[in-house]
Amino acid sequence: MRAFVHRLVGSQESGLVLVVVLVTLSLALLAGSHPDRVTGIAVNNFWNANTLVQTATDASFFAIMAIGATMVIVSGGIDLSVGSIYALAGVSMALVLRALGPMSDGATVLIGLAVCLGVGLLCGLLNGALVVGLRVHPFIITLGTMWVLRGIAFVATKAESITVPQPLTKVVKASLGLPATLYPVPMLTMIAVTILGTIYLQRTVMGRHIFAFGGNAEASRFAGLSLSGIQIGVFAVSGLTAGLAAFLGASFYGSASSGDAQGYELYVIASAVVGGASLIGGRGSALGAMLGALLIVLIRQSIRTLHFDQNYEWIVIGCAIIIAVVVDQWSTRAGARRLSVAREQVRTAA
């Protein structure tokens, strides 16, 4: 039990949890309050159910995609196309449902979800196949598909915003017994995907293979691992999570367009990196990606709540990425030095 507590406290996720808690408490203390319209009781501008659930909802779309992107980063790659996959999956769902016409609520939701997940999976498989088949760095491949996929969405919709059927919005905006103004479905989906991502990365053979491939590809090859299968698999998961996020986002906001999720690549990669994923591969976690997304959204929320200039948002997020990468490099070097010292001590003792 003591060893488990020590490992839990010493993990990078525990530090992120502490930072998220500190930022949340700071916002609650500095946000001020306003009188409730009905009761007249003072309500904290940040520490209230509506703002907290909305903050978690905003984070959910980034976090779900960041969990998939983290697997790509752990393998030593990067996926710049997640925002475009989100846009293409969303508009594909809207177009298909519009073409099919009125259906039962259950069929509408199931077909919409299937289209989004299917398009996301196909796009992810395309990215993986191009990376493996052409032997080009994932940065270049996904930079190209980022433009291609968004261009397809633009051509298919003629730059129009397409509304999605009401049953989708009813499902994603279901209150689930909470007050009518609270919509916990995206937040609960984020938590579920985080749990599944954690199990996949840490408790399955495929997850171990991803870490092995990202840590040392040459050793993985000699160990008999299917390197092409691992690369295609991580991009498929990244596309799948982008498709799921697109289903939630389009359904939540009631429409889809080719301009959706522009710039999401920054937030997704930032969430993964701030969450502890190493850009050189071999390290990262689903929980860290979710916490990184929460922290970034809290930073955005603090700028709005404290009435700062919103133009500083990009500056703050950029600085957060740089700091996270620098800290990651410092910890890696410190770990290497400790390992070197330990080896030298063993040699001296022998």
Span of 28-42, 142-156, 231-245, 251-265 with lowest mean pLDDT: 28-42
What pLDDT is stored for residue 163 in this prediction? 94
Reply yes or no on whether the pLDDT at 338 is more than 90. Answer: no
As a whole number of angstroms, the distance between CA 89 and CA 92 comes to 5
pLDDT at 332 over 70: no
Asked if residue 5 has pLDDT above 50, the reply is no
Please enumerate in sequence order all residues whose Cβ is within 8 A of that of 167, keeping only pairs 6 or more positions apart, or say none. 105, 108, 109
Mean pLDDT of 56-66: 94
Q: CA 10: distance to chain centroid?
A: 24
Query: What does the alpha-carbon distance between residue 238 and residue 272 come to, in Å, rounded to a whole number?
Result: 12
Domain membership of residue 230 (yes or no) is: yes
Map 106-141 to HEC letters. Answer: HHHHHHHHHHHHHHHHHHHHHHHHHHHHHCCCHHHH
Q: Is residue 13 part of a domain?
A: no
* C-alpha dist (Å) from residue 177 to 95, 105, 116, 180, 236: 32, 20, 27, 8, 35
Both tokens assigned to 63: 């976090």
Domain count, the chain: 1
**Over residues 64-83, mean pLDDT:** 95
Predicted TM-score (pTM) of this structure: 0.89
Mean pLDDT across the stretch 288-304?
A: 88
Pairing of strands 162-163, 255-256: antiparallel
The verdict on residue 300 lying in a domain is: yes
Q: State the chain's mean pLDDT as an integer.
A: 88
Asked if residue 29 belongs to a domain, the reply is no
Q: Bridge partners of 34? A: 43
345 within domain boundaries: no
Q: What whole-number distance in Å separates Cα of residue 265 and Cα of residue 253?
A: 20
Q: What pLDDT score was predicted for residue 254?
A: 93
**pLDDT at 345 exceeding the cut of 70:** yes
Whether residue 63 contacts residue 271, with contact meaning beta carbons closer than 8 Å, is answered with yes
* CATH assignment at residue 264: 1.10.3470
The per-residue pLDDT for 228 is 93
Q: Which amino acid, 284?
A: G
Structural domain including 253 reads 49-339
Mean pLDDT of 176-203: 93
Structural domain includes residue 306: yes
The verdict on residue 130 lying in a domain is yes
Residue 307 included in any domain = yes
Q: Percent of the chain having pLDDT more than 70?
A: 92
